[in-house]
Amino acid sequence: MSSHTLMHSARSEIQGFKGQFVSPEDPSYEKDRAVYNGMIDRRPALIARAADPQDVAAVVSFANAHDLLLAVRGGAHNGAGLGTVDDGVVLDLSGLKSIEVFPGARTVRVGGGCTWGEVDAATGEYGLACPSGIISTTGVGGLTLGGGLGHLTRRYGLTIDNLLEAEVVLASGESVRASATENQDLFWAIRGGGGNFGVVTSFLFRLHEVGTVVGGPTFWAVEDAAEVLRAYRKFLPASSRELNGFFAFASVPPAPPFPEELHLRKVCGVVWCYTGRPEDAAEAMAPLLAATPEPLLHGVQEMPLPALQSAFDPVYPAGDQWYWRADFVREIPDAAVDLHAKFGAEMPTWQSTMHLYPLDGAVHDIGTSDTAWAYRDVNWGTVYAGVDKDPANADKISRWTIDYFEALHPYSAGGAYINMMMDEGQERVRASYGPNYDRLTQIKAAYDPRNLFRINQNIAPAGS
Ligand SMILES: Cc1cc2nc3c(=O)[nH]c(=O)nc-3n(C[C@H](O)[C@H](O)[C@H](O)COP(=O)(O)OP(=O)(O)OC[C@H]3O[C@@H](n4cnc5c(N)ncnc54)[C@H](O)[C@@H]3O)c2cc1C
C-alpha cells in the first residue's frame, strides 16, 4: 500500500483518532521519523502518534487488519532501531505521558510513552525511586519490557522486578491487565520478553525510598585497567547491596566539571551509586581504592538520585552513531581481564565505551523461571558500544565493537541483555532467553499467533 493510500485508509477507518498522523509528505516527517541512534535511517509509510489507549488499540487493529508491518515506539532509544520500520506503521506512544505517584502506597503509574527522566522527576519529589537505567532520555516502555538495569540494580533488582501491573493492548486490539493475579502468563512474559506480546499503555511500579545518594565516577589511567579490573571483580560481589558500581572504559568528557587537563583522556573507571547512609559511602568504596593505583579523579559526591540518573545525558545526545554488542558474564577470568585492557586502550572515539553492569545482589533473589529474564545467576552484563557523531566513522566504531565482543564472547554465559543488542538473528535471541525460550514461544502463540509484534528481538510463535 502506498503511503498516500495508507494515510487515506487510516483517516477513514480509524474513527475518532485523537492523536496525529504523519506521512512522508508532512513537513515534520524527517524530524518525526528520526530515532535516537543516528545509524538507523528508516522511512515508515505512516507515523501514528496515539493520544490515549483507545488510539493505541485502533492503530493495532488497523495494522492487523491490513497485515502491515508495525513498529511500536516508546522512547526511540533502541540501538537496533526497533522503534521504527521501513514502509510500515510506527505507533508512537510519546503522547501517553501520564504519571501518578502514590506516595502512601509507594507506587507510580506511568503512561507507556514516558521517559525515565520524567518519572524520576515526579517520584524524586517524594524521595522515592524505581530502578531504571543510567540515561534519563531512555523510554520506560522498551527499557522495562527488556528488563531494566542501572544504578539501583544491586539493591532493588531489575526494573521488571518492581513491575506490579501493566495495561496491555493485545494484537486483537483488546486491552487487558497483566499482574500477579490477572493474565499471569502474560505478566511473566512481559518481564523481559520485550514488546513481543502487546503494547503496554501503562505500567504500575513499586517505589523505594531513595532520596540522596553518593554517586559519580572514579577514573584511573587506562594503562592501569588490568589491575583495577582484577581488584574490582573481587571487590564488588563481596560488597553490600547498598553499593552499586559499574566498571567502565570511557574518555573523560571535554567539559566541566572535569578538569581540563583530563579532557578526552582514555580512562577506566567505576561509576558509583551508594544508597546507604551518605556518611558510610567512603568506607564502602575504600577497599577498592586501597587495592588499586592512585586514581586520576575520584569525583564522588552526595546528590539527589535524579541528578545521577541524568549525569551522562550531555555526553550522549540523540542523533549520534551507535553500534552495540552485549553479553552476560558469570566471572571475569584473567584472560578476559587482559583482553578488556587491550580493547579498552583501543577505543576508536571519545564517546565509545564499555560497561560491566552488576547483575548480582537483588537480581539473584528471583529465580530463573520466575520471569522471562533467564540469566539470574550471572554477575555482570557487558555492553560494548562504539559511539561517534560523524557518520564517516560508522565502520570504525562498528569494527571495534564487534572485534571486542568476539574476543570476549568465549568468556560469557551465552546470551545477552536484549536491550543492548543490534539485530543479531534468531539464535542470539533464543540464547538470551535460555531455558525460558520455549515457554515464551507458547505464550506468544496464545497472544500474538500471527506475529504482528515482530519489530523487536523477536520470539517466534510456537508452531509457526
Ligand atoms: C544512551 C542509552 C543508554 C541506555 N542505558 C540503559 C541502561 O542504563 N539500562 C538499561 O536497561 N537499558 C539501557 N539502554 C537500552 C534501552 O533499554 C533500550 O534501548 C530500550 O529498547 C529503549 O527503550 P525505548 O522505549 O526508549 O525504545 P524504543 O526504540 O522506542 O523501543 C524499543 C523496543 O521496545 C518496544 N516498546 C517500547 N515501548 C513499548 C511499549 N510501551 N509497549 C510495548 N512495546 C514497547 C518497541 O516496540 C521496541 O521493540 C540504553 C540505551 C541508550 C540508547
pTM confidence score: 0.97
* Number of C-beta neighbours around residue 131 at 10 A: 27
Ligand 1 centroid, distance to 75 Cα (angstroms): 6
Contact 225, 340 (CB under 8 A): yes
Q: Shortest CA distance to 328 belongs to which of 358, 350, 352?
A: 358
Separation of alpha carbons 448 and 433, rounded Å: 18
Distance 390 CA to ligand 1 centre (A): 23
- Smallest CA separation from ligand 1 atom 23, residue: 142
Rounded Cα distance, 107 and 400, in Å: 42
Q: Are residues 207 and 129 in contact, defined by beta-carbon separation less than 8 angstroms?
A: yes
Helix (H, G, I), strand (E, B) or coil at 118: helix
CA of 141 to the centre of ligand 1 (A): 6
SS3 content of the chain, % helix, strand, coil (to 5): 35, 25, 40
Pinpoint the alpha helices (H) of 194-280.
Answer: 225-238
**DSSP state string for 342-362:** HHHHT-SSTT-EEEEEE--GG
Give the residue from 124, 91, 147 showing the smallest Cα distance to 366.
147
**H or E segment at 108?**
strand 107-111
Ligand 1 first shell, C-beta below 6 A:
36, 72-79, 82-83, 93, 112, 133-135, 138-139, 141-143, 145-146, 148-150, 194-195, 199-200, 316, 419-420, 455-456
Q: Please list, residue by residue across 45-70, b when 16 or more beta carbons sit within 10 angstroms of its beta carbon and e when fewer do.
A: bbbbbbebbbbbbbbbbbbbeeebbb
Digits of tens for pLDDT over the chain (464 positions)? 788 888 888 888 998 999 999 999 999 999 999 999 999 999 999 999 999 999 999 999 999 999 999 999 999 999 999 999 999 999 999 999 999 999 999 999 999 999 999 999 999 999 999 999 999 999 999 999 999 999 999 999 999 999 999 999 999 999 999 999 999 999 999 999 999 999 999 999 999 999 899 999 999 999 999 999 999 999 999 999 999 999 999 999 999 999 999 999 999 999 999 999 999 999 999 999 999 999 999 999 999 999 999 999 999 999 999 999 999 999 999 999 999 999 999 999 999 999 999 999 999 999 999 999 999 999 999 999 999 999 999 999 999 999 999 999 999 999 999 999 999 999 999 999 999 999 999 999 999 999 999 999 999 999 98
Pick the residue whose CA is nearest to atom 28 on ligand 1. Answer: 76
Distance from the CA of 295 to the center of ligand 1, in angstroms? 33
Ligand 1 centroid – CA 273 distance (Å): 22
Structure-block grid coordinates of residue 193: 520478553
